[in-house]
Structure 1
Amino acid sequence: MRTILITGPGGSGRTTVAAATALAAAREGVRTLVLGTDRGDSLGAALGTPTGPAPVAVAPGLTAWRPDAAAGFRDDLAGLQERASGVLDLLGAGPLDPEELTPPPGAEERAVLRALRDAALAEEHDLLVVDLPPAPRALALLALPEELRRYLRRLLPPERQAARALRPVLGRLAGVPMPAEWLYETAARWDLELAAVQAVLADRATTVRLVAEPSPAGTDAVRSAALGLALRGLRPDALIANRVLPEEAGGGWLAGPLAQQRKAVDDWGATYGVHRVPHLGRDPRGTDDLAALGVPGAGAAPAPVDWPVEDRLAEDGVLVWRIPLPGAAREDLDLVRRGDDLVVTAAGFRRVVPLPSALRRCRVAGAGLREGELRVRFAPDPGLWPRTP
């Protein structure tokens, strides 16, 4: 199943483009599901069909779904209370009633990730189009599965779970209570769920489409979003220049905006496959308006993003890890090695990346940014690198 993630600056029309993309794909004969993530029904407004927790058929081959974060949180907490009922009884605490619960911060993000996993693993559709939140929130959401899995491994390392049968004995010997079985079971279940979402995001058939209005502000937002995506190993398969004014309208007060629009589209065209979507003079509503936008459907997925390790031991005595970071500036970059991880920071975006096995036996010998690519040099550590006879 192919997945297309759609995001862009707030107010750029990403929901409309997501709906139009899904509709175009469905009319090409692709069984398509469009997933909405807004709390309000902006997706339903664009499609002309209300959406909600139950999937709804919008057009032949097109289904829309907008999960309910509140319901998901209540179900999760009810299950957790059931598994921890013994502890709650011991403490004299009464269970919370689902009707009195409101979702805490983070519940919406978890609901979106779970819906993304469920939709991508289902077999009813060939294409999943996801209307992500605005770019800054979308980037944080895409980083969440990897970050949460790393936190879980640090807090509850898998190797500690191997001694479950000895936990009561160890607790008596140490004189302190050991983590309960349900805690490890819950952590293992969360890790499995997060791993499934991470697999969807890392799949070679998963791509991103950026939506922005062609303007100076849109150009800055695209550069920032593309850099954040590159740090996650994602590359846009298209850039949708939305609400493009017709050139024949040039004159009077529109001359300035048209010139800015032209410059932005030309600049984007040097890096991305740009598709122009015309300004209809109104907010698109319903399938007829969406079809009139001419947004492309699924199309072909771009080549996957690779972070190759170049062997230059014979020439320079180093291995070079090449990390594509288009649009990055030297002053925005920071690198720190921590054990077997490399912490990469680019313009406020941060990722902790495990080192490839060969590089774990090396020390960092330097780094440089060239042609939109971060090149980190590693020299073999004599104490760890295998010696040649």
Structure 2
Amino acid sequence: MRSILITGPGGSGRTTVAAATALAAARDGARTLVLSADGTDSLGAVLGVPTGTGPVEAAPGLTAWRPDAAEGFRADLVALQERAATALDLLGAARLDAEELTPLPGAGELALLRALRDAVLSEAYDLLVVDLPPAPHALDLLALPEELRRYLRRLLPPERQAARALRPMLGRLAGVPMPAGWLYETAARWDAELAAVQAVLAERATTVRLVAEPGPAGADQVRTAATGLALRGLRLDALVANRVLPCTTGDTWLAGAVAQQRKTLEEWQDTYGSGPDASVPVREVAHLGRDPRGGDDLLALDVPGAGPAPAPVEWPVADRLLDDGELIWHLPLPGAIREELDLLRRGDELVVTAGRFRRIVPLPSALRRCTVSGASLREGELRIRFAPDPELWPKGR
């Protein structure tokens, strides 16, 4: 199943492009689902068909859905209360009723991820188009499964569950109560759900599509988003330049805006269309002179089709094998700025920071026996040098 995740700066027309992409695919015969986490029905306004908390048919072959954050939030919290009943009673805590629960910030995004996973596992569709929140909030959302799984493994290591029979004795020896079995079971269930979402995001057929209006502000946000996506190992399959003005205009006021757009478009073509990231096509979507509404307007937009997914993003380790015999880890980070990069070795993990984005990645087995000897940023690629540790490296290497 092909999945296209669409994001971009706020107000860039993400929802419109997502709806147009989904509608065009449905017209071509693909069973298509378009998802949105927007609390207001901007998706329905663009499609011309109201959408809600349940899937609705927006057009032949096209289903639209805005997952309900409240229902899943209430169910999860009520279930957690039931499992923790003993602890809550000891604390004298008052129970919360489902009717009084209001979803916390972020519940809508979690509901979107859960719906994305369920849609892929159902195998009921050929194409899934997801209208994500604005970048960089969308990048934080896409990082959530990996980060939460890491927190769960640190707080409740799965291997400690094997000591269930020894827990009462260990509690007496330590002088503190040991976590109950239900806590590990809950953590295991959450880990399995997060792993399923993470697997969908890591699928070769899952890609991200950036939508932005060409201009100085859009250029800065595209660069930042492209760096964040690369850091997360997410594949960018297209850059959609939205609301492009016609080149020929007799209006002197519009002429300045057109010139600004053309300058940015040329820069995007140089960087993404023909530069080191030539696998990312830049597609121009013309301004209709009005806000698109309904199927006819959406089909008039020349949005890129689903197409095949690009090659996966790889972080290869290569032997330098020159005089110093170092190893080099290649991390593609298009758009990264040297002054915004930071590296920290933490045990068998490497903490990579690029601007506001951070990722903690496990080191490949060969690099765990090395020390970091330096790093450089060249042509959108971070190259980290590792020197073998004589005390850990096999003899004769």
Q: TM-score, normalised by structure 1?
A: 0.97
Residues 205 and 308 in structure 2, CA contact (< 8 A), matched pair in contact too: no
> Hey, what does 1:29 align to over in structure 2?
29
> Hey, what does 1:77 align to over in structure 2?
77
- Supply the distance in 2 between the matched residues of 1:78 and 1:18 (Cα, whole angstroms): 35
Q: Secondary structure at the match of 1:207?
A: strand
Residues 113 and 197 in structure 1, CA contact (< 8 A), matched pair in contact too: yes
Q: Secondary structure at the match of 1:269?
A: helix
> Hey, what does 1:103 align to over in structure 2?
103
Give, as a single letter, the amino acid of the residue that structure 2 aligns with 1:112: L
- Supply the distance in 2 between the matched residues of 1:127 and 1:214 (Cα, whole angstroms): 28
- Supply the distance in 2 between the matched residues of 1:357 and 1:3 (Cα, whole angstroms): 32
Q: Secondary structure at the match of 1:297?
A: coil
1:1-389 matched pairs, under 5 angstroms:
1-270=1-270, 271=272, 272-313=280-321, 316-388=324-396
Are residues 311 and 216 of structure 1, via their aligned partners in 2, closer, same or farther at CA, if it must alter by over 3 Å?
same
Q: Report the alpha carbon displacement of residue 315 of structure 1 after superposing the two structures with TM.
A: 5.1
Give, as a single letter, the amino acid of the residue that structure 2 aligns with 1:362: C
Overall identity of the aligned pairs, in %: 77
What do residues 352-377 of structure 1 show as CA deviations (whole Å, max 9, x unaligned)?
11111111111111111111100001
- Supply the distance in 1 between the matched residues of 2:356 and 2:234 (Cα, whole angstroms): 17
- Supply the distance in 2 between the matched residues of 1:22 and 1:51 (Cα, whole angstroms): 14
Residues 145 and 197 in structure 1, CA contact (< 8 A), matched pair in contact too: yes
Structure 2 unaligned segments of length 5 or more: list them.
273-279
What do residues 276-315 of structure 1 show as CA deviations (whole Å, max 9, x unaligned)?
1111121111111110112122112112111000112355
Residues 28 and 297 in structure 1, CA contact (< 8 A), matched pair in contact too: no
What do residues 111-155 of structure 1 show as CA deviations (whole Å, max 9, x unaligned)?
122112112222100111110000111011011111111111111
Are residues 19 and 171 of structure 1, via their aligned partners in 2, closer, same or farther at CA, if it must alter by over 3 Å?
same
- Supply the distance in 2 between the matched residues of 1:178 and 1:236 (Cα, whole angstroms): 45
Which has the higher mean CA deviation after the structures are superposed, 101-110 or 218-227?
101-110
What do residues 79-137 of structure 1 show as CA deviations (whole Å, max 9, x unaligned)?
11222223334444342111111112232222122112112222100111110000111
CA-based RMSD: 1.4
Residues 23 and 297 in structure 1, CA contact (< 8 A), matched pair in contact too: no
- Supply the distance in 2 between the matched residues of 1:338 and 1:250 (Cα, whole angstroms): 60
Residues 68 and 111 in structure 1, CA contact (< 8 A), matched pair in contact too: yes
Give, as a single letter, the amino acid of the residue that structure 2 aligns with 1:361: R
Q: Report the alpha carbon displacement of residue 69 of structure 1 after superposing the two structures with TM.
A: 0.9
Q: Secondary structure at the match of 1:208?
A: strand
Figure out how many residues of one structure are paired with residues of the other and give that number. Answer: 389
Give, as a single letter, the amino acid of the residue that structure 1 aligns with 2:365: S
Residues 226 and 235 in structure 1, CA contact (< 8 A), matched pair in contact too: no
Give, as a single letter, the amino acid of the residue that structure 2 aligns with 1:360: R
- Supply the distance in 1 between the matched residues of 2:59 and 2:226 (Cα, whole angstroms): 32
- Supply the distance in 2 between the matched residues of 1:215 and 1:93 (Cα, whole angstroms): 54
Residues 161 and 181 in structure 2, CA contact (< 8 A), matched pair in contact too: no
